[in-house]
Amino acid sequence: MTDTNTLTDRYVAAALHSVPTAERDDLERELRASIADAVDGRVEAGETPPAAERATLEDLGDPAHLAARYLDRPTFLLGPAYYFTWLRLLKTLLLIVLPIGAIAAVAVDLLDGMPPQRIVGTVVTSVLAIGVHLTFWTTLVFVVLERSGAKNARPAGAKGVPSWSLDMLPDVARRTTGVAELVVMIVGTVLFAFVVIWQQQVGFVRDDAGDPVPFLRPELWGFWIPALFVLLAVSVALAVARYRAGRPTGTLVLAGAALNVVGWTAALVLLLRGELVDTRFFDRLDVTAATGDWNVVYQVTAVIIAATVLWSIVDDVVKWRRAARDAG
């Protein structure tokens, strides 16, 4: 050691650099006195001074750990006071935001005119990036809470952080909306969105030049198909909310019905006005001649769709009434 710094100097500096200045002088004097006392004790017991200094400091252990104890700071990132709140919130956020993000990414890429094989890549990257950001920032907020408010106001009190209550228990017996239903709904919606994109970009019907002939009229990309993606995202959010509630609630049933009515009314109006389906698609398949008048086909389809939508709304209302009766 050619340095003028002794081991003790270096140890004290390492232990106290994170201590607020107001406290540091007092703490440094005390710590130095304690170390010197311990070294003296060991020297009296027959150790050489350098060995005694080393042994004393090794006894005190990692200076970062000692500093944390002095400051009464947690030596973990996220403790038990916030762990479960953090976990619940993060799960909810990821379940809601990731599907919406995926759909939004697809929509943006399509508006940019990106080819479908590249869209898959950018969607995966976007979803990963959203997931990482969401997780990081949520966790960071909780870590800050842990280090600031946590010391004085443990679990229940901290502002804005919901504490656990009996009302949060999932309703096991009456749960009518399972996780499987939710996953099927989300996967189904995402697949549907992909099919809508795929039929435009790739399709399975080609014209003479080998270009795809879409099923839906290309003009719909101007407004209607982006609007459809927004509706799909909202319906995913509703399904998640319904899963979280464990059963359909009045608000959710109403919102779902409204969504169905808005979406399908728009689709039916477009269909009946001949603005939804690209008839060239059927021309290429040689089915036009067999069907004759398109208006009849549209009207029959419209009646079937309207009946299906009506039935699904009635089914929802029945489920909701039953759940409400069981709960009441």
Partner 1 sequence: MDEVTAGHLQELRRGTVVLACLVLLETPGYGYGLLERLNEAGFAVDANTLYPLLRRLEKQGLLTSLWNTDEPRPRKYYRVSDDGRRVAETLRADWDALRASIDALQV
Q: By CB under 8 A, name the binding residues for partner 1.
A: 26-27, 29-31, 33-34, 36-38, 41, 59-61, 65-66, 69-70, 72
Q: 112, exposed or middle or buried, with CB in 10 Å at 0-12, 13-18, 19+?
A: exposed
Whose Cβ is closer to partner 1: residue 9's or residue 171's?
9
Q: How far is the CB of 18 from partner 1 (least distance, A)?
A: 14
User: Distance (Å, rounded) from C-alpha 291 to C-alpha 285?
Assistant: 12
Q: How far is the CB of 4 from partner 1 (least distance, A)?
A: 21
Whose Cβ is closer to partner 1: residue 37's or residue 315's?
37
Q: Which residues contact 269 (CB under 8 A, 6 or more apart)?
A: none
Is-contact 323 174, C-beta < 8 A?
yes
Q: How far is the CB of 26 from partner 1 (least distance, A)?
A: 8
Q: How far is the CB of 141 from partner 1 (least distance, A)?
A: 28
Sign of the Cα torsion 183, 186, 189, 192 reads: negative
Q: How far is the CB of 72 from partner 1 (least distance, A)?
A: 6
Q: How far is the CB of 82 from partner 1 (least distance, A)?
A: 22
| Three-class DSSP labels, 47-92 | CCHHHHHHHHHHHHCCHHHHHHHHHCCCCCCCCHHHHHHHHHHHHH
Whose Cβ is closer to partner 1: residue 17's or residue 133's?
17
Whose Cβ is closer to partner 1: residue 47's or residue 283's?
47
Beta bridge partners of 216: 277
Whose Cβ is closer to partner 1: residue 15's or residue 105's?
15
Q: How far is the CB of 50 from partner 1 (least distance, A)?
A: 19
Whose Cβ is closer to partner 1: residue 80's or residue 113's?
80
The helix (H) or strand (E) run that includes residue 144 is helix 116-148
User: Distance (Å, rounded) from C-alpha 90 to C-alpha 87?
Assistant: 5
On the CB side of 88, how many CA atoms lie within 13 Å of its CA? 12
Whose Cβ is closer to partner 1: residue 37's or residue 326's?
37
Residue 325 vs residues 18, 167, 311: alpha-carbon distances, Å: 60, 18, 21
Whose Cβ is closer to partner 1: residue 71's or residue 184's?
71
Structure token pair of residue 278: 């690209």
Q: How far is the CB of 38 from partner 1 (least distance, A)?
A: 6
Produce one character per residue of 122-139: b if its CB has 16 or more CB atoms within 10 Å, e if not.
Answer: ebeebbeebeeebeeeee
At 213, the amino acid letter reads V
Under DSSP, is residue 321 helix (H, G, I), strand (E, B) or coil? helix
